[in-house]
Structures are given as structure tokens and as C-alpha cells.
Amino acid sequence: MIIIFNSEVEPEGADVQRVLDYVRDVPGVSAKVHAVRGASRSLVEIYLIGRTDTVSDAALERMSGVERVVRVSEKYRIIGRHRGQMDVPGFEYNGVRFDQDALHVFAGLCAVDSRESVEAMMRALKESGRVTTRMGAYKPRTSPYDFQGHGKSCLPYVFELAGKYGIRVIAMEVVHESQVGEIRDALAAAGSPTGVMLQIGTRNAQNFELLKQVGQQREFPVLFKRGMGITLEESLNACEYIASEGNRNIVFCLRGVKSHLGEPHRNFVDFAHVPVVKRLTRLPVCIDPSHSVGRKDLSPDGLLEIEHVTAQAVIAGANMVLVDFHPAPEKAMCDGPQALQLSELPGFLEDVRIVREAYEKRREARGNVVGAKKA
């Protein structure tokens, strides 16, 4: 159950307090206050959890400052779309806006292997006018005997070079809560030249303790990757763990699921779920074409299959693309076969541009002007 206040109500104000006092007496119900900052306005919401069937909507709606009361289904209470809520807000991080209208390409290294690779990658991004990238320091690997990433030792030069080349947001996987602190410390030591989006990998999609930890901090936004063997609903429920701890700056990432029916691709590409996630939740949707396809096959029409599945996501409204590049894919320490070369970056970006333009035309033709919602 969500109680939405008028836009002039303050989180610490008397109206909010009065509602909190009121529901405190209801047995089996607990309350959390959330301040939502949209593009044009901000507002306060109170989430009631528990046996809310005994709470009266009418009584609450009569209380001072309350604009509307929304009953939500059991699932996706915070990340879900519920009738009557404010327009999808999104968030801004380090100067970059993430919402269901935006589109950002995060091209970068699956695994950081050397300072040289990082610098080559970032230089290429700057030349292409990009301010976002992916950089893997902590790598969860199927076998304990595989390369596990350079960990915190590479953070100083990754952040330094990001600052040098104007990168504002780096998507970086964490596999343990302690790494959030390592990243925070390394960023501070480097003078905060860039920002980090904490990535939760598919193997940790139901590692609820880790989800709670990244949910409790608000400094870094979180990129949540769908679990590879669970349904979309189960993944959204897991993602809700992050939001339920307080952090709502979340991007939901599709990356293919495990099934032999998806062969010859490495995973079964699930980008038909892009519009589904946008319909069920208020989260921006990212896709990872590299881990989905897992191979660098070329179509007879001259486009890579990785580019085709990227186009499939963008034409359906994806908001973020996480894609592997490497200066020398054959030497990459992890997932080399799926990495594109730096020389392929301009073509990749131009392809995304063409498709995004078509997506905007599709929306216009349907009378849904891009950007109009924000005004």
C-alpha cells in the first residue's frame, strides 16, 4: 500500500508524521518513507508493508497532505508500476540521466587485464564522444581455477584513466559487499574523477544478502542482471530486495538465459522482455548483447549477430547497452571470443543511432512524442 503526498509535502514534515503515527497503531503493519525525485518535481511516499487489508484507504485519503492512496499487489511493490502513481521518475548519477526514455551505450572491458588495455579502451570512447563504460575488476568464474580478475589492485589506474578521458560512469560488478567499500575508498583516493554503477551479476541474482547490502547504500546506483535460470518474475522479485532496503537507483539488465534451445548462441536471447520490464516496472532496461550471443558471427548482410540483437533491443526501447570491446580480443583473459575490436566501435555506435532513430519514429507515429513526458 502506497500513500502519495502532495508535492509540497516534506519528508520530515508534520503531514508525514501524522500518517506514520496513525499506522503505527495498526497491528502487523510497518511503514517506510521514501522521497522520490522526478525530473520536474519531487514527492514523498509512504510504503505500508504487512497486513494492510485492515487499513482504511478512505481514512488515509482524508488526512492532510495526502494526494492519493494506491494498493499494490504483493510483488514489485517499489519497483513496479502501479496505477495512480507519478510518472516514471528515473534518476541522475554523476551528470548522466537514467530513465525509461534514455539510451546509453556502456562499451568496455569485460575484465580489466592491464593499464594499457584500459587506456586504449577509454581513449577510443573519448574519440567517439562517450562518457560511460564497463570495466570488470572482480570476476566470478565457473571454475575456481580460472582467472578471477585483478580486484582492487586495478582500481587506482582504472579510475585515474576514467578521469583523464572524461568517463562519468563505469559499470563494475561486485561479488561481495566488501568490494563496495574498496571501490568507495579507491574513488576517494583518486579524487573522485568518475562514478561507478555497481553491477550484480547473474550468478548473484538471488544472493539476497548482497542485494540488501547494495540496497542499503545510496551512493552508487545498481545494475541488476537477471538470473540465468529463473523466470522474469523471480528476477524482478529479487531486484525488489534492493529497492526495499532504500536504494531505488536501479537499472534492470537482460543478458540472456540458459537453455539449449538458444543454441548456437551462448545464452537464449531474451530481449523480447525489454517492453515487458518497462510495462511491469518503472526501471530503465539495459541489455547485454555480448554475454547473450557469446560469439562474433557475421550475418550475410554484413552485420554482426551481436549488432543484430542490440538493434532488436533498441528498436523495442532499451535504455542501456552493456557491450564487450577489447583492444586485442584474442589476448583477453576472459570472454575474448565475444569482444568486438576498437576499430568496430564507430560502426557499432552508428548502427545503434540508426535504430534508435527508428524507435523514436515508431513512437511518434503512435502519437507518443519522445521526451514529451518529461516536459
75: contact with a second copy by CB under 8 A: yes
Instruction: Point out which span in 62-70, 102-110, 156-164, 300-308 binds a second copy (CB under 8 A).
Output: 300-308
- Contact between 300 and a second copy per CB under 8 A: yes
Q: Does the footprint of a second copy cover residue 73 (CB under 8 A)?
A: no
204-243 binders of a second copy (CB under 8 A): 204, 206-210, 227-234, 237-238, 240-241
Residues 114-153 that bind a second copy (CB under 8 A): 140-145
Write the DSSP assignment of 85-130 as a string of letters.
PPPP--EEETTEEESTT--EEEEEBSS---HHHHHHHHHHHHHTT-
- Residues between 52 and 71 that touch a second copy (CB under 8 A): none
Tell me which H or E stretch contains 286: strand 285-287
Q: Give alpha helix (H) positions in 220-344.
A: 232-244, 274-280, 289-293, 305-315
Q: Which three cell numbers stand for residue 51?
A: 497486513
CB 18, min distance to a second copy, A: 25
Cell of 323: 557491450
Count of residues that interact with a second copy, criterion CB under 8 A: 87
Sign of CA dihedral 151, 153, 156, 162: negative
Stretch that binds a second copy, among 61-69, 112-120, 187-195, 308-316 (CB under 8 A): 308-316
Our finding on whether 278 is near a second copy (CB under 8 A) is yes
Instruction: Report the nearest approach of a second copy to the CB of residue 146 (Å).
Output: 9
Interaction of residue 302 with a second copy, rule CB under 8 A: yes
- Least separation in angstroms between residue 260's CB and a second copy is 4
What is the distance between the alpha carbons of residues 133 and 96, in angstroms, rounded to a whole number?
12
Answer whether 75's CB lies under 8 Å from 236's CB: yes
Burial label, 331 (beta-carbon count in 10 A; 0-12, 13-18, 19+): exposed
Residues 253-272 interacting with a second copy (rule: CB under 8 A): 257-265, 268-272
